[in-house]
């Protein structure tokens, strides 16, 4: 498994744990707080607010938010590792 996939899966798992037992908008807020407090996501508040404005349903919103935030966080972590490896060369 590559760096991106490991990071993505890790953040999905941890964000789900942070939102365990919650539903709809409360679940989305817990996911937002996980990424805001525990990751290097570049703009979690902006992502949360923009996705909230454009949501199609309160049920689907936390699912989409989790996927989007985990994706961007994993991509940033993957690029950080690549950059560190290039600097060591």
> pLDDT tens string for the chain (89 positions)?
799 999 999 999 999 999 999 999 999 999 999 999 999 888 999 999 999 999 999 999 999 999 999 999 999 999 988 888 888 86
CA 83: distance to chain centroid?
21
As a 3-state breakdown, the chain gives helix, strand, coil percent values, each rounded to 5, of: 80, 0, 20
What predicted TM-score, i.e. pTM, was given to this entire model?
Answer: 0.91
Q: Where are the domains of the chain?
A: 3-88
């Amino acid at each position: 498994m590559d760096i991106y996939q490991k990071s993505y899966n890790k953040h999905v798992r941890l964000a789900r744990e942070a939102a365990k037992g919650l539903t709809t908008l409360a679940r989305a807020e817990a996911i937002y707080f996980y990424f805001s407090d525990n990751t290097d996501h570049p703009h979690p508040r902006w992502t949360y607010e923009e996705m909230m404005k454009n949501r199609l349903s309160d049920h689907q919103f936390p699912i989409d938010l989790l996927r989007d935030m985990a994706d961007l966080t994993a991509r940033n972590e993957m690029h950080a590792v690549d950059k560190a490896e290039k600097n060591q060369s």
